[in-house]
């Protein structure tokens, strides 16, 4: 059943614009009634012809419009993955405040293959919906090491998807999540953090109205394909473990993720077909004229890349932050001089 109160958002830099466009196209195909949002965690390079009016989203919200305090200083403390993840909490509150009755978040490297009414119907009675990385124990030692222990490191739930109702508890969750992500959205597994995912291990306990969605057709990815084999029926429907494939997570597809899928594909015709479709879709939606490796917040003022060590030093050195309110304003040498008290 169509539900026009549903708003769906994603967050991305321009380097992921091709993936975000494919996500939006696939959502439009199955849910034309939804309102689609993009949180843009980037700024356009000179001469890059980006026109929000020509994008497949109803609303594009630059990170500068989220009301995050001390924005430049806050952004400097994150790499691109951490930053695109950290904005999810503030953006969720932004979309709720715009009047959404239900909010779905999907990573930009997801594609939707069927309607998601099961998800949105759950939000009639539940406050938060999560999908776990795994639905059943692994059978082999290698899979235990890769997937079960991997989930212990990275989080039980995959935050490429989350759905939240505009209930009192949904708002309470959104506020809690925003606060945690503004301060603690880091890729630091030894410290118990993996961006937003490890935080959501707490959610079913902290927010009892949480539903763990066990549909094998939702959030299919390289880490659970062995448990969710794909097939294409005579009716043309793609299924995962016998259930309709609703959305597939092509994580890191332009890189190691594609290799991981190819390694598992074997004679799986369905997987080969959706990989070929996704690769062709990305090529068709690639932004023209974007410089390779572009990210507006990835370089010092002198054009040198900002290494993770500089970002971590910035986060942990209060004296440095006091000396340099806007760390993007100096070059790498100037940053190091100030870091050493110069």
The answer to the question of residue 248 being in a domain is no
The total number of structural domains in the chain stands at 2
- Phi, psi for 127 (deg, rounded to 5): -95, -35
Rounded CA separation 217/131 (Å): 11
The answer to the question of residue 299 being in a domain is no
What is the per-residue pLDDT across 239-261, written as a single tens digit (0 to 9) for each?
999 999 999 999 888 776 676 77
Task: Give the contacts of 262 (CB within 8 A, at least 6 positions apart).
Answer: 275
Q: Note whether 230 and 150 are within 8 A (CB).
A: no
The answer to the question of residue 171 being in a domain is yes
The answer to the question of residue 271 being in a domain is no
Length of the chain as a residue count: 342
The answer to the question of residue 128 being in a domain is yes
Q: Note whether 2 and 102 are within 8 A (CB).
A: no
Rounded CA separation 299/293 (Å): 11
Model confidence band, residue 178 (pLDDT cutoffs 50, 70, 90): very high
Same domain, 333 and 198: no
Question: What's the domain range around 168?
Answer: 6-215
> Helix or strand or coil: residue 34?
coil
Q: Note whether 75 and 45 are within 8 A (CB).
A: no
Model confidence band, residue 49 (pLDDT cutoffs 50, 70, 90): confident
What is the per-residue pLDDT across 116-135, written as a single tens digit (0 to 9) for each?
999 999 999 999 999 999 99
The answer to the question of residue 251 being in a domain is no
Average pLDDT over residues 88-97: 98
DSSP code string of 38-103: EEE-S-PPTT----GGGSS-SEEEEGGGS--TTHHHHHHTS-HHHHHHHTHHHHHHHHHHTT-SEE
Task: Give the contacts of 168 (CB within 8 A, at least 6 positions apart).
Answer: none
């Amino acid at each position: 059943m169509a539900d026009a109160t549903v708003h769906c958002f994603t967050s991305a830099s321009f380097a992921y614009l091709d993936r975000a466009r494919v996500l939006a196209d696939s959502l439009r195909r199955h849910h034309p009634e939804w309102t689609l949002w993009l949180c843009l965690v980037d700024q356009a390079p000179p001469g890059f012809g980006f026109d929000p009016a020509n994008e497949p989203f109803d609303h594009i919200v630059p990170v500068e419009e989220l009301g995050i305090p001390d924005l430049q200083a806050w952004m400097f403390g994150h790499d691109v993955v951490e930053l695109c993840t950290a904005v999810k909490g503030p953006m969720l509150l932004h979309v709720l405040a715009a009047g959404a009755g239900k909010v779905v978040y999907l990573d930009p490297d997801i594609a939707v293959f069927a309607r998601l009414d099961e998800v949105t119907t759950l939000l009639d009675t539940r406050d938060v919906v999560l999908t776990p990385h795994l639905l059943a124990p692994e059978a082999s030692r290698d899979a235990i090491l890769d997937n079960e222990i991997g989930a212990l490191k990275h989080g039980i739930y995959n935050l490429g998807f989350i759905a939240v109702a505009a209930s009192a508890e949904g708002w309470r969750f959104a506020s809690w999540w925003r606060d945690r992500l503004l301060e603690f959205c880091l890729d630091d597994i030894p410290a118990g953090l993996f961006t937003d995912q490890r935080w959501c291990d707490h959610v079913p306990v902290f927010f009892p109205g949480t539903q763990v969605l066990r549909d094998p057709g939702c959030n299919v990815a390289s880490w659970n394909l062995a448990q969710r084999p794909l097939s294409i029926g005579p009716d043309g429907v793609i299924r995962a473990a016998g259930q309709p494939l609703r959305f597939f997570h092509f994580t890191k597809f332009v890189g190691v993720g594609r290799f991981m899928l190819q390694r598992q594909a074997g004679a799986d015709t369905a997987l080969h077909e959706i990989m070929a479709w996704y690769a062709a879709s990305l090529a068709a939606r690639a932004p023209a004229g974007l410089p390779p490796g572009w990210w507006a917040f990835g370089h010092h003022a002198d054009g040198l890349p900002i290494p993770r060590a500089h970002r971590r030093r910035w986060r942990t050195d209060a004296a440095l932050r006091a000396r340099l309110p806007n760390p993007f304003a100096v070059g790498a040498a100037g940053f190091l001089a100030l870091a050493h008290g110069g």
